[in-house]
Structure formats: C-alpha cells, structure tokens
Amino acid sequence: MADEDKRSRSRGKAVPTSRVGRFAKVAKLAGGVAGGMLAEGARQFRAGNRPRRRDLLLTPANARRVTRQLSEMRGAAMKLGQILSMDTGDLLPKELTDILASLRSDATSMPEAQLEEAMSKAYGKAWEKEFRVFDRYPIAAASIGQVHRAVAHDGTELALKIQYPGVSESIASDVDNIATVLRVSGLLPGEVDIQPLLDDAKAQLKDEANYLKEAKFLQRFNELLGADERFILPELLPDLTKRNVLAMTYVAGGPIDAIVRRPQEERDRVMSALVELMLTELFELRMVQTDPNFANYQYRWASGEIVLLDFGATREFKARFVGNYRKLAMAAVQGDREAMAVAAEKVGYSIGDEDSRYRELVLELLLLALEPLRHDEPYDFAGSTMPARLSELGQRATEYADFWHAPPTDVVYFHRKLGGMFMLASRMEARVNVHELIQRWL
C-alpha cells in the first residue's frame, strides 16, 4: 500500500497555469459550494427542518470542496486560505477557519511534465547535468513550490525548492478570485472589509514567489544566527539558485512537535529558544519569519539543535511599528489600559470611543492574547484556557460594527507568528517564562 501511495503521489496533479484555467477552478469551486447548499437545503427541508444559510454553507461536503480545489490550485489561492485561517480567526466563522486551517498541511505535488518544465526554465534542457543525483520524488509539497533532494557534483547533499509553473504570474488574480468566491458564497461575512489585508497579501506573496529574495533572507539569518549553537540552518548555494529554484544544503531533522516525548526540561528549553528568537526577530532585527507552520521547525535528537527552514514568508517591519508594538506590550505587562489604548491606536487598531463597551472588549482581547507576557512565571501553554477565552471574547466583539474593520496588516502578520508559537508550545506541552524573556526589550 505504501508503494502504491508513493507512486500515486509521485504522479502528482497538474497545477493550472493559465489565468483562464485557474479561474475555471474558482468557478467550479463556487458552483460546487452552491450545489452543495441546494442539496443540503433540500435534505433538511425533507426532514422538516428550517436551516440557517450558514448551516447550509458550512457542511462537511463543502469543506472538502473548498480544501480540495484550493490545494489543487496551490499558489496564492492556497496561501490566502492559510492567511485567512490563521490571521483573522476572530473575523470569520469558526467552521470556515477550520476548513481553511487544513490548507496548512502538504499540497498535492506537480506531475513529471511540470517538474521538467520548471527545471528546464531554471537550468536549460540539459538541467540534469547540473547534479550528480536528482530525486524526482518530492520530500515536501506546499503552496508555492515543492522540495526535492539532490547531490551536487562535489558530493554536497542538496535541497531544491522548486516553484510551481504559473504560480508567480497568477497571484493578483488568484487573490481577487478567491476573495470574490468567499464573499459571494456568503462564507465571508458581508460586513468584513479585508481589502487592505488582500492588497498586502498580494505584495507579500509576490515576495514569497521570488526565490532570489528568499535567498537573501536565508543568508541574513545565517549571518545573524551562525554563532548560536541552539539553531542550525541550511546554507545557500548561490550558483545553483534561480528565481524559481532555491538551492540549499540539505539539513536533516525530525518533526519538532515530536519532542513532546522528551523530558519537560528539554521541551521547555526548545520552546523558550523559539520564543526568544521570535522576540529577537521583531524587536532587534525588525525582520520576522511570519509563517509558523510546524514543518518549518525540526529537531535533532542527538544534539538537541533546532533546525530552521523556509524563509520565504520573512517580513521586514518599520521601526515605528516595532516601537509602538513595544509600547503596547509594555502597557499590557503593566496592566495599564490607558497606555494600551494609546499604543493600540498607534499600531493601527480601531478601538472605539472612550468609555465604550467595545473599547473595553478590544483591550480585554489584547490583554488576553498577550497573557503569557504578563506573568513572571513559566506559562503552562498546554494547560491554558486562553484559546477558548479568546474565542468567546471574539464572538462577543462581533456584535459591534467597529469590529468589522480589517486589522492592521503588520499586526496580522506578527500575530500569525505569535499565535503559531503559542500553538506549538501547547502541542509540545511546554512551559515558558515569556515575561522574563521579553524584559530585555521592554
């Protein structure tokens, strides 16, 4: 069965490369969701029920349609689903964020013909001569590209990140088309204005699709962390790196969340290192790898080193934003609501009128989201009820019109990383004194 599964995956599924082909996928998605609504509605009425529109939309069958179509399209369509599920969870119905969250897992790989096309674009028709060995079976497949192992002529083991054909050129239309489907289908509440987030997503995705830019980020992180014995990163191979192929040394490691089997002390050490790295990225480097996908972190059982992978989603932040976010964090640590309100507005939040109930809700949400920073003791992430309390507060906030403003995009991307780190800490059952770690920057 394993061999059969491997052969099936190695054949892959073609990525639609033309604008017409990709739009057809979106149209098929919209039609499938609408058809699913009609079928479910008829079934419910026959049973004597009068279901809500949301209940008709968010069925298991529609969930499968959305995830299958977006994962087959890959590129910005899949990435937008990831961004929306992670970053605007308070804005969207929980059922939709659960649907989109499944897009964080591996995508479908591309077939041999498209792999050949991508490699020929990078190295020419005789591309196989560039390597002593090239494994045509990918070791990972994600939203923008897939990763293959290879061996250079000097014996260096390589990891080649190869971009899907047509993905870079389709970013703007993909984002617009998927947003339209979410809006027209009713999956996205009509009150939500996510246009600023969509515009920023297009720019961010264009950067992620430029592997030459990711190569520069990889080099910078190697320079910054090269002397830190806690971490190990792939090294860039500039001569083999092209705009659509990123060539790196292959660095082996195991799944990071598997260390839940290690002693508590080791889990706490690893997670503390990752949280400290996140804070260093924001407050010191102003350059944050914003994709918290667990697959971007691995663990070496023999040495305890943490492997850092994938710097395509690295985002540079302006000094003004970092300064204001530092003031927000400082005010949260001190429990100073007035200072928090001032800092939150400077960061870009819409916090409502003074003395309003909505303003108090926003401050409560921020205090809760930053709860691990506020207590000078190891925070037990696995035992925390913070996610449930955040969800409950978020639902209460949706009753207010001001809530439906798109969140500040810089906050969205940093909170994506922050939320991912907290989720990983919970998965590891780690305890981290975040308050102690952040003091050097406050």
Active-site residue list: 291
Dist CA 62 CA 53 (whole Å)? 13
H/E element, 330:
helix 319-334
Q: What tokens appear for 430 in the block?
A: 């780690």
**Looking at the DSSP assignment, which residues form a beta bridge with residue 255?**
298
What does residue 303 show for φ and ψ, rounded to 5 degrees?
-105, -20
Report d(CA 81, CA 66) in Å as an integer: 9
d(CA 419, CA 416): 5
Beta bridge partners of 339: none
Helices (H), 74-194: 75-87, 94-101, 112-123, 171-185
Place of tokens 């994962």: 71
Q: How is residue 440 annotated by DSSP? A: G
For residue 104, which phi and psi values (nearest 5 degrees)? Answer: -80, -15
Q: In the Cβ-directed half-sphere of 64, how many Cα atoms lie within 13 Å?
A: 3
Query: DSSP code of 238?
Result: G
